[in-house]
A = this chain, B = another copy of it.
Amino acid sequence: MKAEHLKGHLDSLILGTLGAGPAHGYAVIEELKRRSAGAFDLAEGTVYPVLHRLEAEGLLASAWTTASGRKRRVYRLTRRGRTALDGSRREWQAFAHAVEAVLA
């Protein structure tokens, strides 16, 4: 999977991962890898800044928790984040259809 392919889609993917329920950053990375069957194996340095940005934009909210001695920052979709996810899905469909029309 070429890294540049993600460009412009990373936000959608992270919103999509959190669509199933709240998760902390590291778990988002694992879940992305799992759902994509290994295709999206992102570095922490790729994902954490996106989480921060999405929170700053009001699409995510976070809260600190502690599990077995480790501090975790758990993110969840805000109402606006949920709306953004719906929009992302529609945008993806439009993009995918357009690409397929060209490559077909």
Pick the interface stretch among A63-71, A75-83, A96-104.
A96-104
Interface of A is mostly: helix
Count this chain's copies in the assembly: 2
Chain B residue numbers with a CB within 8 Å of A9 are 5, 99
A6 within 8 A of B: yes
Chain B residue numbers with a CB within 8 Å of A13 are 99, 102-103
A39-B1 CB under 8 A given contacts A12-B103, A102-B13, A103-B12: no
Chain B residue numbers with a CB within 8 Å of A100 are 92, 96
Contact of A103 among B2, B5, B89, B94 (CB under 8 A): B89
In the bound complex, how far is the Cα of B19 from the Cα of A7, in angstroms?
25
